[in-house]
């Protein structure tokens, strides 16, 4: 399996990253894409992927929350960072109007620049969107190509939002949100409509610990080794074999992120 989104630069992993990666490999999660949310974090991610070469891969980019701190030189630095062969996507980038930590106009500007950089370098985009669906799809549609190479990471939306993402060619990233009975209703409705060749799985560690595991293991810190739990939840809802979900999501991750490294 491949965990396409884990925030392993989070401070909660500072003391035991070796063990976290060992547990991940033992659980059959053989590659992890480490998510970056700012330029300084992208540099840390790049260094981390070098240290755990062949297991950890990474993204480089600016999260919409951090758009206001991106600075004038961010595009140049990002351009340089993505030349690193372990960086397999631009992101996470997108729009987040839920907390509006940066002004929407600032977010849109930084998002557009990152889309251009990704297109120019033929890299996929790792996309974040919250409470900004219409603007998000609108900006993606400005792209000259009618199809976007990328993933709607931590997708939580309804059927209509799902269709808009699929229509522009996006892959759909599913997290432990699916396992949260308090807020997974939209996603449970839409999961049946995600084609098997567009489905990806991610933990978003250390966030979004699946609720059942949180109770059982008495920890709130999510880890890549819990990825099979998400595959299992999808298999149950879509009435499929667990093996089929694992194989398809693996192949989809390879196709989207690793076609250049093969
Ligand atoms: Zn995100």
CA of residue 207 to ligand 1 center, whole Å: 10
CA of residue 156 to ligand 1 center, whole Å: 11
pTM for the model stands at: 0.96
pLDDT(12) > 50:
yes
**Structural domains in the chain, sorted by start:** 2-257 (3.20.20.140)
67 three-state secondary structure: helix
Q: What is the pLDDT of residue 25?
A: 98
CA of residue 127 to ligand 1 center, whole Å: 7
Q: What is the pLDDT of residue 8?
A: 98
CA of residue 95 to ligand 1 center, whole Å: 10
CA of residue 63 to ligand 1 center, whole Å: 8
177-233 pLDDT, tens per residue? Answer: 999 999 999 999 999 999 999 999 999 999 999 999 999 999 999 999 999 999 999
Q: What is the pLDDT of residue 260?
A: 59
pLDDT(239) > 90:
yes
CA of residue 94 to ligand 1 center, whole Å: 9
pLDDT(72) > 90:
no
Dihedral through CA 125, CA 131, CA 132, CA 134, nearest 10?
110
Q: Where are the alpha helices (DSSP H) in the chain?
A: 17-26, 39-51, 74-81, 104-120, 133-141, 159-167, 185-190, 211-217, 227-237, 242-257
Q: What is the pLDDT of residue 162?
A: 98
Measured in whole angstroms, the distance separating CA 223 from the mean position of its chain's CA atoms is 14
Q: What is the pLDDT of residue 21?
A: 98
Q: Which residues surround ligand 1, an ion (CB under 5 A)?
A: 92, 128
Compute the radius of gyration of the chain from its Cα atoms. 17
Distance CA 262, CA 254 (A): 9
Tokens encoding 34: 């480490």
CA of residue 204 to ligand 1 center, whole Å: 8
91-150 pLDDT, tens per residue? Answer: 999 999 998 899 999 999 999 999 999 999 999 999 999 999 999 999 999 987 888 999
pLDDT(262) > 70:
no
Distance CA 64, CA 212 (A): 30
CA of residue 62 to ligand 1 center, whole Å: 11
CA of residue 174 to ligand 1 center, whole Å: 12
CA of residue 142 to ligand 1 center, whole Å: 22
Q: What is the pLDDT of residue 71?
A: 84
CA of residue 93 to ligand 1 center, whole Å: 8
CA of residue 205 to ligand 1 center, whole Å: 11
The more confidently predicted of residues 46 and 101 is 46
CA of residue 157 to ligand 1 center, whole Å: 14
Number of Cα atoms under 13 Å in the Cβ half of residue 86: 23
> Which whole number is the average pLDDT over 48-70?
97
CA of residue 245 to ligand 1 center, whole Å: 23
CA of residue 58 to ligand 1 center, whole Å: 14
pLDDT(39) > 80:
yes
Mean pLDDT, the chain, rounded, equals 96
CA of residue 15 to ligand 1 center, whole Å: 24
């Amino acid at each position: 399996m491949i965990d396409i989104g884990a925030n392993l630069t989070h401070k909660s992993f500072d003391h035991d990253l070796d063990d976290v990666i060992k547990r991940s490999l033992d659980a059959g999660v053989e590659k992890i894409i480490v998510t970056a949310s700012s330029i300084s974090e992208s540099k840390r991610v790049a260094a981390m992927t070098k240290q755990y070469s062949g297991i950890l891969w990474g993204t480089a980019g600016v999260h919409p929350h951090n758009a206001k701190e991106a600075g004038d030189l961010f595009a140049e630095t990002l351009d340089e960072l993505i030349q690193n062969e372990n960086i397999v996507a631009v992101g996470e980038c997108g729009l987040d109007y839920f907390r509006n930590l940066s002004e929407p106009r600032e977010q849109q500007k930084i998002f557009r620049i990152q889309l251009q950089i990704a297109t120019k370098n033929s890299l996929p985009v790792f996309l974040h969107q919250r409470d900004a669906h219409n603007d998000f799809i609108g900006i993606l549609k400005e792209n000259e190509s009618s199809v976007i190479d990328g993933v709607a990471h931590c997708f939580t939306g309804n059927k209509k939002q799902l269709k808009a993402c699929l229509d522009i060619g996006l892959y759909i990233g599913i997290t432990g949100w699916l396992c949260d009975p308090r807020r997974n209703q939209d996603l449970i409705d839409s999961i049946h409509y995600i084609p098997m060749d567009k489905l990806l799985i991610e933990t978003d560690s250390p966030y979004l610990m699946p609720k059942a595991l949180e109770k059982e293991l008495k920890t709130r810190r999510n880890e890549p080794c819990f990825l099979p739990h998400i595959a299992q939840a999808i298999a149950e809802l879509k009435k499929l074999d667990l093996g089929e979900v694992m194989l398809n999501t693996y192949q989809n991750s390879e196709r989207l992120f690793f076609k250049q490294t093969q």
